[in-house]
Amino acid sequence: MLVDRYLQQTPEASTRIFRVYRPSPPHFHEHCDEHLLVVSGRGSFWAGDISNCVEFRPGMLLVFKRRTVHAMPVMLQEPIVFLALDTPPRDPADVHFVDPRDGTPQTFIRGYSQAD
């Protein structure tokens, strides 16, 4: 589960801050590139292939191009907080899990509504 809050949205980009409370399963975004600045916490992520697993820490910038499968399988220090910039803006529903049993944006993300 993660808590996602939109801070700003323009025709060019959306800015969000979100806290992660459990590992995220493999997923991708069909319509945007995702840029994540690690504000706090530590964990590991991979993009494209599970063999590319790398540890992240505060101050690092993680970039996931649209349609690139990525995941955060390990949380080492909580809370994990990201400042996200999505180009173009990410619709909250644009989270596609590789394994549909992992859920939907509505079941995985608290604060799913942009009105929150």
**Cα distance between residue 40 and residue 57, in whole Å:** 7
Q: What pLDDT score does 9 carry?
A: 94
Q: Enumerate domains of the chain plus CATH numbers.
A: 2-110 (2.60.120.10)
pLDDT of 114 > 70? The answer is no
Contact 87, 16 (CB under 8 A): no
Q: What pLDDT score does 1 carry?
A: 61
pLDDT tens, position by position, 30-69: 999 999 999 999 999 999 999 999 999 999 999 999 999 9
Instruction: Tell me the whole-structure pTM to 2 decimals.
Output: 0.90
User: Tokens for 106?
Assistant: 């509505």
Give me the mean pLDDT over the 60-88 stretch: 97
Contact 79, 72 (CB under 8 A): no
